[in-house]
Structure 1
């Protein structure tokens, strides 16, 4: 049996679920009466979603639909970072929505400090865009997971490689 147990804290999302959410958003935009004639497009790029529509009012409606579809597919709304609204050609507006993935250094340091301050027997280390947590007891790791879930970080966190 292993002498130490560990898990990783990561910030990621299921790409296929996001593709499905964007497809459902486009389908609903095409069928909704108030959005039907706006020529609104929602395009998924590598690490952004681009919304192109005719007014900020319809942009807000598209945000609502996208958030609803993402939440119904079990995607955290914290993965969306809404950019500023730009005016496009022909009295239209465009907005880029960045997709947040990975834990940046500042948040990783906050997580490791929280673990170090509250749990003396547990080690945590930053490994790229993830945080590895190790301990001798699985019960201690469960307590860390519960404590981190209580904290409200600005990114979506998942716990992987639990062994």
Structure 2
């Protein structure tokens, strides 16, 4: 029976590339001359820490990071930007968690959405991914197209297509 998996994973090498390009761009910008900027990617914790002198500068760094991430082919939904910046001495710090894997609530939303499509497919939650299987590959491809258009607040990748 044909099947595929829906996952939400961040390619940390691409994230690292985007962070390095952001560092270089910020270092070359005139408005950041003599401004302390800390851009720290903690790969093991899936965390990005940005620190600078003001919240305005912090937002500019985040904008550059998001645009560089899109150019690397990353979905910007992998960054959880909901956390507010916090003062840390003379600097303003922001911790940005990088989403990796579907949470149980997100997986349940996804399964419910797939079932509401009314196609002859089965969707089941397996750890941090959702496996979708059905008799027709066309139905599976329809599910992929609908999921790409759906307004989820998390990034989706479609892997392991087996026929």
Normalising by structure 2, what TM-score?
Answer: 0.93
Q: Give SS of 2:144's match.
A: helix
Structure 1 portions without partners, runs of 5+ = none
- Which structure has the larger Rg? 1
Q: Say whether residues 1:85 and 2:85 are aligned partners.
A: yes
State the SS of the aligned residue for 2:59. helix
Structure 2 Cα separation of the partners of residues 146 and 120 of structure 1: 13
**Counterpart in 2 of 1:25?**
22
* Pairwise CA RMSD: 1.0
Report how far residue 95 of structure 1 moved. 0.6
Q: Secondary structure at the match of 2:31?
A: coil
Task: Give the whole-Å Cα distance in 2 for the aligned partners of 1:72 and 1:120.
Answer: 35
In the alignment, is residue 43 of structure 1 matched against residue 59 of structure 2? Answer: no
Counterpart of 1:139 in structure 2 is: 138
The two structures have a TM-score, normalised by structure 1, of 0.93
Equivalenced residue count is 159
Gap runs ≥5 in structure 2: none
Give the CA deviation at 1:118. 2.1
Aligned-residue offset at 1:36: 2.0
- 1:62 corresponds to 2:82: no
Q: CA deviation at 1:101?
A: 1.2
Q: Which runs of 4+ in 1 moved over 4 A?
A: none
User: Residues 115, 38 of structure 1: CA spacing in aligned structure 2 closer, same or farther, 3 A cutoff?
Assistant: same
Other structure's SS at 2:10 match: coil
* CA deviation after TM superposition for structure 1 residue 119, in Å: 2.9
Contact 2:119–2:139 at 8 Å: present in 1 too? no
